[in-house]
């Protein structure tokens, strides 16, 4: 994981991802996204804990970026962190997300963005003691995601 001015957390995600850049004007994003989606995805806002659509979902499938449709996480890496937002211990593949050192709001943390469209997804935290293969918690806003359930059969 490459970040600006921060160490690289470990990940078990595959080391490949073919990302097609998505570039749109601010006017296009405003026209395509709801006000809440725009505030989170394009302005790095956050939804209130325990209010998002996926914080306690256990449906099998793939979680894609709500802004551009790039596949980012799967239900196989989702876990119950009890923090009020969907939590994953790794992205679908390294390269699907990018990392930015975030020093806003008096905190020192790592922001997670969609590698294709640069939309804000949430943050990644390390060393919190969760029993996961990476000891990471990708704390992602539900409004940043769209779940594509696995089809049976």
Q: Is 74 domain-assigned?
A: yes
What pTM was estimated for this model as a whole? 0.85
CATH number of residue 113's parent domain = 2.170.150.20
Average pLDDT over residues 70-97: 94
Domain that holds residue 80: 26-149
Query: Of the candidates 130, 41, 133, 131, which has an alpha carbon nearest to the alpha carbon of residue 91?
Result: 133
Quote the pLDDT of residue 104.
Answer: 75
In the chain, the number of structural domains is 1
Just list the catalytic residues: 139
- Other C-beta atoms within 10 Å of 30: how many? 14
Query: Of the candidates 67, 81, 56, 55, which has an alpha carbon nearest to the alpha carbon of residue 21?
Result: 67
Quote the pLDDT of residue 5.
Answer: 43
């Amino acid at each position: 994981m490459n970040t600006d001015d921060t160490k690289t957390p470990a990940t078990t995600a595959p080391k490949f991802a073919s990302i097609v850049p998505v570039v749109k004007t601010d006017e296009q994003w405003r026209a395509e996204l709801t006000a809440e989606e725009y505030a989170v995805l394009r302005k790095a806002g956050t939804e209130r804990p325990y209010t998002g659509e996926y914080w306690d979902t256990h449906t099998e499938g793939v979680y894609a970026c709500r802004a551009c449709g790039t596949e980012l996480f799967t239900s196989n890496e989702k876990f119950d962190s009890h923090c009020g937002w969907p939590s994953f211990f790794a992205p679908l593949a390294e390269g699907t997300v990018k990392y930015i050192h975030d020093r806003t709001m008096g905190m020192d943390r790592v922001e997670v963005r969609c590698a294709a469209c640069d939309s804000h997804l949430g943050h990644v935290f390390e060393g919190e003691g969760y029993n996961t293969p990476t000891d990471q918690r990708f704390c992602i806003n539900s409004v940043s995601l769209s779940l594509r359930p696995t089809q049976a059969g």
